[in-house]
Structure 1
Amino acid sequence: MSDHDDEHGGERKLARRDFLKTLAGATLAAVPACADDVMAGTEGPGGSSTTGDGSTTSSGDVPTTGAPTTSSSTGTSTGDGTTSSTGVDSTSTGDDSTTSTSTGEPSDMGAQPQACEGQEIVFAPDAVAEDLARFPTAVMAGAMRQESALIHGRSELPDPVLLRVWQPGDGEGTVRVIREIEVTPDENGYLRQLVDGLCPGQWYRYGFFATDRGEPVARGVLGEFRTAIADDAMEPLTVAISCCNGLDNFPWPALQRTSDEYYDVFLHLGDMAYNDGEMALSDYRGNWQAYLAVADGGGMALAYARAGLYCTLDDHEVTNDFNPETIDPQRLQDAMTSYFEAIPVTDTPMQFRVWQSFRWGLTAEFIVLDCRTERRPSTANSADPIYISKEQMAWLKERLQSSPCHFKVILNSVPITDMPTIPWDFAAGDRWEGYPVQRQELLDFIAAEDIGNVWFLSGDFHTCFISHVEPDGDGVVAKTREIAVTGGNTNVLGDFLAAPQFSFGSSNPHGCIITFDPAADEVQVRFIDPDSGQDAYSETLTQK
């Protein structure tokens, strides 16, 4: 039982989490084939594969100008082929020896069904000595698709390490190794690897290991993630959400509590690190390392190890309330560089573009917005305001209209809700309401196209609430809901958010667990009190 668990609740919640995760994996344990899942708005993957002995080297290129290293080596092959990656291009010689490099285009994420099976070996990963001096920061999986995930970590030493991805074996003390890849840290110690050839809807564990003569002798924190479910699958999905994690709130009890819960995906809605006052790239990097430190049981590292991550940014990843039109371009570039270095934001880097989409079968599409770096405050009161770029707005409308998923879940960072006039409108210029023409354009589109089950997930305000986005709206817009959260910083105004527009409001940080159930057409929302571990709010909502 962890330090933050209550006497009975901690063990109960951990057992519940592991039990539910086992059920989730069991429902898709027998997968007939692996299918592609392509980012909305990008071209489909090209073809590449490797069959070598699991020997892979990575240049560790930061995924801002080129794609992360990809490999389908398993460590279970008996072939003598080798794979190397330099972040340039992807070519195959057609024989057992494959040289893989990348230009920033998605690589082939396809694989034969047997590639998901792995090879059973005797291995006790938890028994390998944990070395937090060498691996001091959180491990994270991100950009999860049906057959791939982007794995991140960090090493204090320049030597290559072994990334191993596995599932439980059938025998006692065994695992099935799915992928085994040698990864070399970049010049700043970051480890990043796009692991492909996985199967939809399955849970995987992973870890970075120091080796001696090929055998793991030390490791970082072990992590786990679930791949996106197949295109034709429809099942309940559970997500955890958080934001506004100021370092003065360490060790983030709300996130510690969250890590004891079951969730398929962790969604971070911005202000993951408060970089206010940082001016140089080295400063930004140092602050990210402090936030992601594993030592002392920080909730951020705990929560990220329990499931894969989708995320957006807010202002504090750069500096408080920054104006993209006036900020020093070099400072903005340094902030964005450090963000994409530290976090597995995307498997398809496009010049710091944050907005992207991830589909989970027919259940939910997670639509990630960038509500900060593209806004133009000088246009706010004009007839043509830019809160998000015209390109992003067109893409957002297309995803809302075209998505086959029951739920359209928008990672929004700053709330879109029509907040009470006093005192909230004193700061209206910093959110959607400060750009009323573009806000109305989006809501009118949802209404005109009759797009139901749009759920906005937001942060920024340092409050927790559940709202009707437009209390005086008509039709589907009147039913559209927003769920906002804080996992650290506080705002006393949250306690005054009242019915009927707000069904919950709080100034205090909470864990937040949301289950999207397409068959029932319902969304269960739980806000968890970090002190007691009890639900401060638990209700089932619907937009019927």
Structure 2
Amino acid sequence: MNHPRFGFLAAALIVAYASPSLAALPNGVASGDVTQNSAWLWARSDTTGLVTFEVATDAAFANVVNTFNAAVVDPMQPVKGMANGLAAGQQYYYRATDATLSSFNGSFRTAAAAGSHNGLRFGVSGDWRGELAPYPAIKNVASKNLDFFVKHGDTIYAERYSGPAQPTASTLADYRDRHNEVLSTRYGMNTWQDVRASTPVFAGIDDHEVVNDFAGGSPVGSGYYNDTQRYQDGLQAFREYMPIADTNYAGTGDARFDGKPNLYRAQQFGSDALMIMTDARSFRDAELAPWNGTQADAQRFLTESATQDRTMLGRTQLDQVKSDLSQAQQDGVTWKFLHIAEPTQNLGLAAAGDRYEGYERERTELLSYIKNEGIDNVVFVTADIHGTLVNNLTYSPDGVNQIESGAWEISTGAVAFEQPFGPTVVNLAASLGLLTPDQVAYYNSLPSDIAKDQFIKGLVNAQVLPLGYSGLGLEGSGIPFTNLMPTVPGYGQLDYSLATHSYGWTEFEIDAATGELIVTTWGIPDYSYDELTANPDLITGLAPQIVSRFSVTAVPEPETWAMLLAGLGLVGLVARRRL
């Protein structure tokens, strides 16, 4: 593995999260879905009997403020419960003790109260395969003192792609095994255990929690795919292994939604940010027929995507997104982070059916709403494509002219998926005739990930620019950003807009005083299953380093503008002009 990009950048500080690791609680503990006054707590014991959860305001547990029990009836079925009555913006410590008196400790911080500007730090990633554990790409997360961590979809892979042959997971027992595999110690390391014990999580699904590319809202028999036993088993196992509430939709009047798992969350963190988490898989229509690589079929795909009344989020969820974004704008919340498993940015027609690009009519409805309602500082955060790509988001109401929505997107991950975006898209482009064998050979001959990333950037832009879409990056979009990557002799300033040959995660940090958002993607060189098993010490010793970093200045909220104008003595002048 030759990755010169990493040699230019400072190594990350790795600090292990201190907590006892006892076999009776093999996956450690976890917290999640934190609010201003509550948090969900989780553990899995390999012994039946009661698990006792305790929450305290101090690490020594001298001041316990919440206690509850949960009964283990099946060692492969975790237990969880909600701790409530908590104070906003406070650090808490918790522990789980099982019937053998084995215990494991963790900590979390509740969301800050509305109206406060304390700053915010959170992490995001997605896409990790069990046989590529123990995921050194995230081993610095536990040391970052994050407010929360978003686990985008593909938290397991029901299908194996390398390593020992195993049948596709299709039953509840299969899905539980896969989740346990991801959360288990391997080669003496358990990075997810460290993350989940130190940092509350918000977890969502994509397709591989059930089966590749499923569309939950597609008709099956007299119902929908999300009525099938396979979907129900996959979602049951997912919800069992995540510290989240088990709620279902009711009273929507939509058979796609009613009675189905509700994974939508909208949580405000002070007045710094709103975090919206969606389920872009369970209620979507089936994909369009994929583009076959010809110009004639391109027009067919674009027309169908833009004109057919098809949904990715589902009407119930889409309306909730709009409502929550509008409310946050009215309440003066600075940043609005919209988490969707698949990219919203246009990446070209290849494999577009699975992304929002394949549901263009609904995509336009959402982006035009953001634009027309004046909702500012909206950031789409996505995963699924196994690489980091940054772009502004435009839409076209007439199918010709592109309009800036004012929102932008960053994709993140994968934690570990062989292969990452770079080589995957090269292989796909070659299969569609978009690259010649000589061009593929040239890509493979490039000496560094810096050079390979620029090849991928050129390849993506060659697909999107002729369609009138924006090329990768925020240049020319009007979004006030700064490239924070270092300048390297012989290369110049490194590119912030993509990192497509690494495994990793993305960190978001909001400055409490200025509202500025700094976005940092951490990565390690990608590795294969064969490389991991041949030399596990080499792979597990990899240290995450910065592979993308930039900042974006927040658009001031209306009341912030008023305060600024008042400080300049201009409020009266503005009022007279309006009259």
The TM-score with structure 2 as length reference comes to: 0.66
1:159 aligns with 2:49: yes
**Which of the pair is proportionally richer in helix?**
2
- AA partner of residue 185 (structure 1): V
Give the structure 1 partner of residue 78 of structure 2: 190
- AA partner of residue 180 (structure 1): T
Q: Secondary structure at the match of 2:551?
A: strand
1:491 to 407, 414, 421: 421
Is this contact kept in 2: 1:158–1:189, CA < 8 A? no
Where do residues 206-221 of structure 1 align in structure 2 (5 Å cutoff)? 206-210=94-98, 217-220=101-104
Report the Cα distance in structure 2 between the residues aligned to 1:10 and 1:162, rounded to whole angstroms: 39
Q: Secondary structure at the match of 1:282?
A: helix
Is this contact kept in 2: 1:418–1:471, CA < 8 A? no
Relative to structure 1, the CA distance from residue 210 to residue 322 in structure 2 (aligned partners, 3 Å threshold; closer, same or farther) is: closer
- AA partner of residue 34 (structure 2): M
Q: Secondary structure at the match of 2:350?
A: helix
1:335 aligns with 2:234: yes
Report the Cα distance in structure 2 between the residues aligned to 1:376 and 1:471, rounded to whole angstroms: 21
- AA partner of residue 498 (structure 2): G
Q: Secondary structure at the match of 2:175?
A: helix
Is this contact kept in 2: 1:146–1:227, CA < 8 A? yes
Q: Secondary structure at the match of 2:405?
A: helix
The TM-score with structure 1 as length reference comes to: 0.70
Relative to structure 1, the CA distance from residue 491 to residue 476 in structure 2 (aligned partners, 3 Å threshold; closer, same or farther) is: closer
Report the Cα distance in structure 2 between the residues aligned to 1:402 and 1:475, rounded to whole angstroms: 24
Q: CA deviation at 1:249?
A: 2.0
Give the structure 1 partner of residue 203 of structure 2: 311
Give the structure 2 partner of residue 432 of structure 1: 356
Is this contact kept in 2: 1:415–1:484, CA < 8 A? no
Give the structure 1 partner of residue 150 of structure 2: 267
Percent identical among aligned pairs is 23
Report the Cα distance in structure 1 between the residues aligned to 2:48 and 2:15, rounded to whole angstroms: 36
Q: Secondary structure at the match of 1:163?
A: strand
1:383 aligns with 2:274: no
Give the structure 1 partner of residue 111 of structure 2: 228
> Unaligned 5+ residue runs, structure 2?
1-6, 160-167, 250-259, 289-303, 426-451, 462-470, 474-495, 525-541, 556-579
Report the Cα distance in structure 2 between the residues aligned to 1:345 and 1:352, rounded to whole angstroms: 11
Report the Cα distance in structure 1 between the residues aligned to 2:117 and 2:404, rounded to whole angstroms: 23
Report the Cα distance in structure 2 between the residues aligned to 1:264 and 1:521, rounded to whole angstroms: 16
Report the Cα distance in structure 1 between the residues aligned to 2:284 and 2:201, rounded to whole angstroms: 25
Where do residues 4-23 of structure 1 align in structure 2 (5 Å cutoff)? 14=15
2:170 to 255, 279, 291: 279
CA RMSD of aligned residues (A): 2.8
Give the structure 2 partner of residue 402 of structure 1: 327
Equivalences, count:
414
Give the structure 2 partner of residue 510 of structure 1: 504
Deviates more, 1:508-517 or 1:241-250: 508-517
Q: CA deviation at 1:533?
A: 3.4
1:135 aligns with 2:25: yes
Q: CA deviation at 1:256?
A: 1.1
Report the Cα distance in structure 2 between the residues aligned to 1:532 and 1:159, rounded to whole angstroms: 39
Report the Cα distance in structure 2 between the residues aligned to 1:201 and 1:333, rounded to whole angstroms: 36
Larger RCO (CA within 8 A; separation ≥ 6): 2
- AA partner of residue 388 (structure 2): C
Relative to structure 1, the CA distance from residue 333 to residue 189 in structure 2 (aligned partners, 3 Å threshold; closer, same or farther) is: closer
Q: Secondary structure at the match of 2:317?
A: helix
- AA partner of residue 285 (structure 2): R
Give the structure 1 partner of residue 344 of structure 2: 416
Give the structure 1 partner of residue 124 of structure 2: 241
1:443 to 360, 367, 392: 367
Give the structure 2 partner of residue 521 of structure 1: 515
Relative to structure 1, the CA distance from residue 182 to residue 481 in structure 2 (aligned partners, 3 Å threshold; closer, same or farther) is: closer
- AA partner of residue 143 (structure 1): D
Q: CA deviation at 1:518?
A: 5.8
Relative to structure 1, the CA distance from residue 509 to residue 292 in structure 2 (aligned partners, 3 Å threshold; closer, same or farther) is: same
> Unaligned 5+ residue runs, structure 1?
1-5, 19-124
